[in-house]
């Protein structure tokens, strides 16, 4: 027990506090720790390193949802164009192969 109290005493000496009469005051460090939640917008726009928990307010979540829906729509549109182009390229390649065979295959 004596050692434990000595340990507490030693650790306490390293802590910077102000003593005003019987009151004790200290400034809370703003050091970010991995468990502290990070604001989503701070993480996204300010490149802040995220903690274990990322939070966002309702309006940001709505914006996020709308943007996701918009991007989903865009994605499906682009995917359709992509499919069409793939089909076109395949058809052209087949046509080209047939053409080459006709010309050089006798």
Residues that bind another protein (CB under 8 A): 3, 5-12, 15, 17, 22-24, 26, 29, 31, 33-35, 52
Min separation Cβ 22 and another protein, Å: 8
Closer of 33 and 81 to another protein (Cβ): 33
- Nearest C-alpha neighbor of 29 from the set 38, 13, 17, 19: 17
Q: Structure tokens of 51?
A: 């903690």
- If the CB atoms of residues 9 and 59 are measured against another protein, the closer one turns out to be 9
Residue 47 in tokens: 């490149």
For another protein, the closer of residues 24 and 78 by Cβ is 24
17 close to 25: Cβ distance less than 8 angstroms: yes
Q: Which two tokens stand for residue 85?
A: 């182009």
């Amino acid at each position: 027990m004596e050692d434990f109290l000595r340990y507490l005493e030693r650790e306490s000496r390293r802590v910077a506090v102000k003593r005003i009469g019987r009151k004790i005051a200290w400034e809370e460090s703003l050091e970010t720790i991995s468990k502290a939640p990070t604001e989503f917008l701070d993480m996204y726009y300010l490149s802040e390193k995220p903690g274990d928990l990322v939070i966002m307010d309702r309006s940001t979540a709505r914006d996020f949802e709308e943007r996701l829906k918009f991007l989903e729509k865009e994605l499906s549109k682009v995917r359709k164009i992509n499919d069409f182009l793939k089909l076109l390229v395949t058809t052209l390649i087949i046509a080209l192969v047939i053409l080459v065979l006709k010309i050089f295959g006798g």
